[in-house]
Amino acid sequence: MGIPTRMVTYAALCLLALLVLIPLFWLIGSAFKPSGEIFSYPPTFLPRDPTLVNFSRLFEEMPIVRYIINSTFLATSHTVLLLIIATMGGFAFAKYNFRGRGVLFGIVLGSMMIPFHLVLVPLFSLLYKLGWLDTYQGVILPYLASSGFGIFLMRQFILGIPIDLIDAARIDGSSEFGVYWRVIIPTVKPAMGALSIFGFLGAWNEFLWPMIVLRDSDKYTLPLGLANLVGVYRQEYGMLMAGTLLSILPIMALFLAMQKEFVQGITLGAVKE
């Protein structure tokens, strides 16, 4: 690649990055603006008179801390259960030979093609019969049925583990769970890092399913709580911007904490030895 071509490529990438970051810059600036300045014309990215009134009102007028705790609990529970199911399922499909393995794996792949919105009504009826409406398990467990991508991802990574390594652990007297815990889990940590970010992000931002299941406002997640700021008779866009800014901080912290595993997870196997 020549220098002119490389410069054009870098310029195009910088332009695309700027287009992606403009909404984030607008969000950060608006969170520190008075409500009247958000829709001022001409618009400004930087607030003329920075203020923390939106954040103070957010904590005074809403149980925002409770919403953050609820979202953290639901997203963490979903991510942990997703990792358990995905690693165990991927291990079984990658290293065990059993009758119907191909058919079952095809069903797992097929489940990825079914939109979640298509099964909303059957899932709601099932939760009603189980008495799980307005419960945390009613929010967490149904979404685990859509863990086909995680099983597929883990299977592809575990296929690269030499079978001799697993046989050596069995010869040393390790049980099948010991093989899973001491051999498989340490090897697929990069993939688990990538999957945990995807899973946590999806559960943290989920709006539709918690809105359908939850009735008690004390159990609301952060997206549900923030949605109440804008309605027919109330438009608190300043508080909404402040709450949205707070909502992205845990995701940024998780990505920074697991950045190494995430990059390894999405690039492992992409380069041919």
> What's the distance, CA 251 to chain centroid?
8
147: three-class secondary structure by DSSP: coil
What's phi and psi for 271, nearest 5 deg?
A: -105, 125
Residue pair 109/150 in contact (Cβ under 8 Å)? The answer is no
pLDDT given for residue 232 in this prediction? 55
Provide the token pair at 262: 């995430």
Residue ranges of the chain with pLDDT lower than 70? 1-2, 232-234, 262, 264-273
Q: What is the DSSP letter of 75?
A: H
Sign of the alpha-carbon torsion through 164, 167, 171, 177: positive
Residue with tokens 């165990």: 88
Provide the token pair at 259: 């950045």
pLDDT given for residue 273 in this prediction? 41
CA-based angle 215:146:154, to the nearest 5? Answer: 135
pLDDT given for residue 1 in this prediction? 57
The maximal CA–CA distance of the chain, rounded, in angstroms, is 74
User: Rounded to whole angstroms, what are the CA distances from 124 to 118, 127, 167, 221, 225?
Assistant: 11, 5, 45, 19, 22
Residue pair 153/195 in contact (Cβ under 8 Å)? The answer is yes
pLDDT in tens, 18-39: 998 888 888 898 899 887 788 7
Residue type present at position 30 = S
- What is the rounded distance in angstroms from the CA atom of residue 151 to the CA atom of residue 93? 9
pLDDT given for residue 117 in this prediction? 84
| Cβ partners under 8 Å of residue 228, min gap 6 | 62, 234
pLDDT given for residue 271 in this prediction? 44
| Cβ partners under 8 Å of residue 216, min gap 6 | 134
> What's the distance, CA 44 to chain centroid?
32
- What is the rounded distance in angstroms from the CA atom of residue 133 to the CA atom of residue 152? 30
Provide the token pair at 146: 């859509």
- What is the rounded distance in angstroms from the CA atom of residue 83 to the CA atom of residue 194? 11
How many CB atoms within 10 Å of residue 238? Answer: 24
185: three-class secondary structure by DSSP: helix
How much is the pTM?
0.86
